[in-house]
Structure 1
Amino acid sequence: MHKLKIVAADTYFRQIKSWSFVILVLAPFLFAALSLGLGYVSATSAVKHDKVAVVSQNQGLRQAILKQFDQAERQKQVTTVAQAKRAVKANRIKGYVVVTQRQQQLQAHYRGDQTLSTSQVAQVKQVLTQYQTRLNVQAAGLTAKQWQQLQQQPTLTQSVSQQTAQAKTGQKISFYVLVFMVYMIIITYSSITAQEIASEKGTKIMEVIFSSTTAAKYFCGKILGMLGVILTQIVIYLVGGGLCFLLAQRLDKLQPVFTQFKPLIHSVLHNLININLIFLLLGVVLYTILAAFSGALVAKAEDAPKAAYPATYLSMFAFFISFPFQDNAGALTAKILSYVPFFSSYFMPVRLIAHHATMMEAGLSLLILVATIFGLIWYISRIYQGLILQADEGSFWKRFKRGLAYH
């Protein structure tokens, strides 16, 4: 047991001290900070350079359009075409709208160095339509009662539960976040583990190690060490994500967002921080064991980068076939795959998020997953010495069949 701990500790500390692990852990936080920073700068820049002045003899019409634009005070002070041209040249506004009236018809013309946005065009048209309608009513000599009758429109009402709509949106977001998390962590640790094992292939040091401890203890120590690394990363994500979430809630610019989408955010967090995390962890462990087995089967240490291919391709296959079931989690195929190891880490969380699986079904799936993990560890640890010391140059499938034959 002491030697098993030594192997596990050596594997663990060697991995967490590497720059690749540090970058792997910090990357999501740096990406989130960069995205927020760029979004803030972009929004600030857009606000600064998206101003439009309005020039018109009809001050009521002019003020109505400016109100739609939500313009700053300095844009409201631009009242003539000459002032507007100077403002455009000084880069204080991107353009100006000139509104005139000819024979009971309103005409608006925009000039600038940037086009109006789609929303700005719609805002101008909305105000112009309202004022044009008033002119048409006056020209037609309609009474107020006649005008009200012309304004009669059919109605269409909908009754949609806001909670249900938010729950559906929360399920979709939870699905994408969870599936991508499982996929990315599996791909990462499959590659790391496969190369960790494959790099020892054919080295004389392995014969020395196996002379002082059993291959089973050595293999289990490797897996325990990698499990510790995986747990460390998940804990850092949970703690760091929680702190970022609490900090974001205190930022003035983000408080309205959290207030508006509070039920949606809580729904997503509830779908992620529950039994689904256990499926994520066990799924990564299962693929890590497969990657370790693949790493032990390579012909030589130089083939280490290829060692993760079996685990990578299998995970990729499970990842992509889960997408058609995001809105059909109750399908028979999804039910079957939610109990199949290597697929259950994707499909059972999908079913749980969509409320198509009970906790009893999830428990049964977990039991099968855990049994598969222990079964693989027991079997591979028995044949590990023969696998790692095997130096044949045959094809991968020949080495695979030969590896299964070791006892």
Structure 2
Amino acid sequence: MNKFWVVALETYKKHVKSVSFIMMIIAPLFFMGIFAGTTYMGQKFNHSKEVAIVSEVEGLGKTFTEQTKEEFDINKKITTEDAAKKALEKEEIDGYIVIHENQEKLEGQYVGVKSLGTDNLQVIQQSLNQIQLGMNADKLSLSQEEVGKILSPAIFTEKQVKVSDGKIEENKDNKIVMMIVGMIVVFMMYFIVMLYSTITAQEVASEKGTRIMEVILSSTTASKHFYGKITGISLVILTQVGVYLLSGIIGFMFVKDMDVVKSFFEEVPAGDLLRGLLGYNLLYLLFGVLIYTILAAFLGSLVNKVEDSAKAVAPLTYLIMIGFIGSFSVGMANPQSIIVKVMSFIPFLSSFGMPVRIANNDVTTMEVMISLGLLVISIVVLLKLSAKAYKSTVLIYSDKSMMNVFKDAMKLTK
């Protein structure tokens, strides 16, 4: 057992002390910091465009000015299009907005050297829509109350229930929270496995390529070495996830008083979010990462060079892509799809498919337990088979294809 932990801890130390691991930790946090900083600075120092409002309709320019004065710096001295053009030529204004009435319909046009942003265009459109609505209401002699009734939308809500002991009961799970949790789990599965599948394969292939395995296996067994590698890589993954969680908690302490954060947690209670993450979804995340890590280590033992490790994990990459794309393109749109239901019971795909079904309350507890059982059994079987095959493949220095090496390994394990 001591030799097993020696391999595991050496693998762990080797990776966490490497520059690449430190960069993996820092890079996402660095880019998130830049994004948050630029967004904050942009909002703080964003200046309104200076524009002129031109309209031949009496009172229309004044009404439009009142509605948009917070978004634009409006030059009230300019009232004609000719004056606006001259001011634009002299670069005294950024642009001007012409509003006129055509067959009882308002038409607006912005003229400027630089294009308006999407937000400003929406403000102009909304303002014109409100003015148009008021004009139509006046022509039809409608009061504000009557206009409000006409524009009042129909109310539609969704209520999920569950049948317990032949009785219908309200399902109190927060669907928004469960959807967010499902998306978090699927994204984390995708990025962690895509990143560490190659790292795991390279770790095994590099030692095999340098013939150092002959020395290592003189002091320990191939099985212990294999289990140690898997454990070491798993500890590295847990360390990275732990650093991100800790960074998230610290970051939350700084932004918790922001209006955007407060409004988010009013809709999505933090307690519900935490319970969703610590339930079945966490098990699917942990077991899903583990089964892909085991497979990546086995595939890495089928090649002799580090350069070939990318080829070795290609089948695994395709499997990950199938699970990720299937869960989002099909699962989010139609969680009742037979494709998602089948995926939720296939061990390598269940960690992508089942969180989507859990998020939509489209699965029973029994189905979850069966799916988890199949996943755990598959992990144990794959681990045993991979360890046995590893004994054979790890010392095979051959120019044969991966498939032929795999066939030779299977023959030797019988």
What is the TM-score of this pair, normalised by structure 1? 0.81
Give the secondary-structure state (helix, strand or coil) at the position aligned to 1:197. Answer: helix
What residue number does 2:285 align with? 280
2:18 counterpart residue number: 18
Q: 1:53 to 1:182 in 2, by over 3 A?
A: same
Q: For the Cα contact (< 8 Å) 1:75–1:93, is it kept in 2? A: no
Q: Is 2:312–2:402's contact at 8 Å kept on the other side of the alignment?
A: no
1:258 matched to 2:286? The reply is no
Q: Which runs of structure 2 are paired with 1:225-244 in the superposition (5 Å)?
A: 225-244=232-251
- Number of residue-to-residue matches in the alignment: 391
Q: 1:333 to 1:113 in 2, by over 3 A?
A: closer
**The residue matched to 1:287 in structure 2 has which SS?**
helix
Q: Which residue of 2 aligns with 1:38?
A: 38
Q: Deviations over 1:3-32 (max 9, x none)?
A: 111110100011111122222223332232
Letter in 2 for 1:325: G
Structure 1 pair 108–23 and aligned structure 2 pair: CA distance change class (3 A): closer
Q: Unmatched 5+ residue regions in structure 1?
A: 138-145
- Point out the more displaced range, 321-330 or 349-358: 321-330
Aligned-partner SS, 1:211? coil
For residue 329 of structure 1, report the CA deviation from its aligned partner. Answer: 2.6
Alignment-derived partner of residue 206 in structure 1: 213
Counterpart in the other structure of 1:141: none
Are the counterparts in 2 of residues 286 and 342 from structure 1 also a CA contact under 8 Å?
Answer: yes
Partner Cα separation in structure 1 for residue 323 and residue 367 of structure 2: 20
2:192 aligned with 1:185, yes or no? yes
* Counterpart-to-counterpart distance in 1, 2:131 and 2:334: 47
Please state if 1:343 is matched with 2:341.
no
Work out whether 1:75 is the aligned partner of 2:80.
Answer: no
The alignment's TM-score, normalised by the length of structure 2, stands at 0.80
1:382 aligns with 2:378: no
2:65 corresponds to 1:66? yes
1:147 to 141, 162, 166: 141
Q: Partners of 1:176 and 1:364 in 2: how far apart?
A: 22
Partners of 2:93 and 2:384 lie apart in 1 by 71
Residue type matched to 1:306 in 2?
K
Asked whether the 8 Å contact 2:178–2:358 carries over to 1, the reply is no
CA distance in 2, matches of 1:342, 1:17: 31
Structure richer in helix, relative to its length: 1
Conserved? CA contact 1:175–1:326, under 8 Å:
no
Change (3 A) 1:100 1:228: closer
Question: How far is the alpha carbon of 1:391 from its aligned partner?
Answer: 1.4
Task: State which drifts further: 79-88 or 266-275.
Answer: 79-88
What residue number does 1:217 align with? Answer: 224
Long gaps (5+) in structure 2: 161-172
Shift in Å, 1:382: 2.9
8 Å Cα contact 2:48-2:73 kept in structure 1: no
Change (3 A) 1:379 1:95: same
Calculate percent identity across the aligned residue pairs.
35
Question: CA offsets, 1:153-197, max 9 Å, x none?
Answer: 857642233898x96555554444332221111111110000100
Native 8 Å contact 1:49 1:94 kept in 2: no
Instruction: Find the aligned partners of 1:182 and 1:212 in 2 and give their Cα distance.
Output: 35
Deviation at 1:69, TM superposition (A): 0.9
Map of 1:8 onto structure 2: 8
Deviation at 1:314, TM superposition (A): 1.8
SS of the residue 1:54 aligns to: strand
Look up the match of 1:142.
Answer: none
